[in-house]
Structure formats: structure tokens, C-alpha cells
């Protein structure tokens, strides 16, 4: 899976995804401090599913009309430990193949998906 991990995604999670064979562009490595609209544009231009803990991407997509057809996954997980978060995010992303074209919100109990405009 081609992913763009926002800079707020923990390093343990990025490492676990890469170890699992995923192609992960991590904004912390390539564009630290980039504004959200730039992060979304990078993910979109490279056809990468954006993963983030930042709710502002919903605002960008639904209120400001930013393109995001590659998909966005907003994680709303508690953070008991970096290892738990890394394992859970990897499990969730690998559990589905229909992330593209959707804005998804993932919490401890559910995955809510909404088609992108």
C-alpha cells in the first residue's frame, strides 16, 4: 500500500508499516512543518492514502474543497503505548482494500467511511 504518513504519525507506526512491506512517505522525514494543505497535495499528487491524527484534514476536504481522491484515514485512537498504536494502525489498514476515494475515521471500536466529494 502506498501511504503518506502525516508528521504526527508515530515513528513506531511508520517503521511497522514499512516492515510490513508498505511504501510509506513520512512527512516528518520529507517536509517537517509543512502546512496541512501541502501535505494533502503531496499525498494526492503521488496517489498515496493519507494517514493522520489531525482533524483539520476534514475541514480541508469538506469545507475548502481540497482534492483527496487517494483517500484520508483519520485515526482517533487513545495512545496507551507507541507499540499498541503501531500494531493497531497496521491491522486496521491491512483489514480493508477500499480506502481510496473515502474519508475514513477510525477509533477503538469502529471505522466510519464517507465518500469524498
Mean pLDDT, rounded, for 86-95: 92
What is the Cα–Cα distance from 73 to 58, expressed in whole angstroms? 10
* Domain boundaries, given as residue ranges, for the chain: 2-115
CATH topology of domain 2-115: Rossmann fold (3.40.50)
In DSSP terms, 12 is beta-bridged to: none
What is the Cα–Cα distance from 15 to 22, expressed in whole angstroms? 10
What is the Cα–Cα distance from 70 to 31, expressed in whole angstroms? 19
pTM to 2 decimals? 0.94
What is the Cα–Cα distance from 50 to 68, expressed in whole angstroms? 9
- In tens, the pLDDT along 15-72 reads 999 999 999 999 999 999 999 999 999 999 999 999 999 999 999 999 999 999 999 9
Amino acid at each position: 500500500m502506498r501511504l503518506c504518513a502525516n508528521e504526527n504519525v508515530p515513528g513506531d507506526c511508520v517503521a511497522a508499516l514499512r516492515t510490513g512491506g508498505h511504501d510509506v512517505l513520512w512527512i516528518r522525514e520529507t517536509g517537517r512543518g509543512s502546512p496541512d494543505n501541502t501535505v494533502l497535495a503531496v499525498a494526492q499528487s503521488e496517489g498515496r492514502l493519507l494517514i493522520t491524527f489531525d482533524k483539520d484534514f476534514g475541514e480541508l476536504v469538506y469545507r475548502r474543497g481540497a482534492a483527496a481522491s487517494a483517500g484520508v484515514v483519520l485515526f482517533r485512537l487513545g495512545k496507551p503505548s507507541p507499540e499498541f498504536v503501531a500494531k493497531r494502525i497496521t491491522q486496521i489498514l491491512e483489514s480493508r482494500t477500499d480506502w481510496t476515494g473515502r474519508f475514513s475515521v477510525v477509533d477503538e471500536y469502529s471505522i466510519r467511511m464517507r465518500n469524498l466529494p
